[in-house]
Amino acid sequence: MSQEKEQKEQVTEEVVEETAEQTTEEVETVEAEAEATEIAEVNEVEELEKKLQDEENRYLRLRADFDNFKRRTQTERESAAKYRSQSLLTDLLPVLDNFERALQVEATTEDGQSIKKGIEMVYRSLVEATAKEGLEVIETVDHPFDPNVHQAVMQEQDDSKEAGVVLQELQRGYKLKDRVLRPAMVKVNE
């Protein structure tokens, strides 16, 4: 019986060893699977965080573009309101020139003087109306030549004045607020 017992013990030991090996393999497999799952989850979290960061950056860029668009639109709207009368005033400049020419004519008869007085009244009311809209006359004579507001069409030598000073205005220039509608045509001292 002892031999049988030994065989049983040996078989039992083999079974125990096999079971232990299987259990160890199963534990290692489970640990490997858990580690692989953990790595996959970490990779997925990192990938999701990257996507979130990309979307946040995209959102911030879109928000900045929208803010710039709003600011630009507001500026354009303000500019349009500020210069709304520009085309009308530009069309009225020849009318002002013609009134000024008409006022330079000498009236010798009583009828001529009364007509001239009527033209002066209309001219003054037109000048007042355009001034309310922001039309300003560009100063020329005895002022330094400024290429931004003056157009030099002639030069002349006058020793009594400094070089670069406007000697004579040939055609009046006008500004609408800070924008030049028509530069003044001038004669400049050399």
Query: 88 with 70, same domain?
Result: no
Give me the amino acid identity at 34.
Answer: A
**Residues 99, 64 within the same domain:** no
pLDDT of residue 5: 74
As a whole number, the mean pLDDT across the chain is 88
Q: Do 91 and 185 belong together in one domain?
A: yes
Mean pLDDT of 67-96: 90
Together in a domain, 78 and 1: yes
Examine the pLDDT at 119 and tell me if it is beyond 70. yes
Both 68 and 10 in a single domain? yes
pLDDT for 40-77, tens place per residue?
888 888 899 999 999 999 999 999 999 999 999 999 99
pLDDT category of residue 174 using cuts at 50, 70 and 90: very high
Q: Which amino acid is at 94?
A: P
Are the C-beta atoms of 99 and 126 separated by less than 8 Å? Answer: yes
CATH number of the domain bearing residue 141: 2.30.22.10
User: Are 8 and 56 contained in the same domain?
Assistant: yes
pTM for this entry: 0.61
Give the tokens for residue 117. Answer: 């007085």
pLDDT value of position 183: 96
Of 178, 169, 101, 160, give the one whose Cα is nearest residue 140.
169
> What is the domain extent for residue 176?
83-189
Q: Tell me, what's the pLDDT at 182? A: 95
112 half-sphere exposure, CB direction, 13 A CA radius: 8
**What percent of the chain has a predicted confidence (pLDDT) above 70?**
99
Number of domains observed in the structure of the chain: 2
Q: 183 near 173, Cβ under 8 Å?
A: yes
Give yes or no for a contact between 105 and 120, defined as CB atoms under 8 angstroms apart. no
Q: Are residues 87 and 151 in the same domain?
A: yes
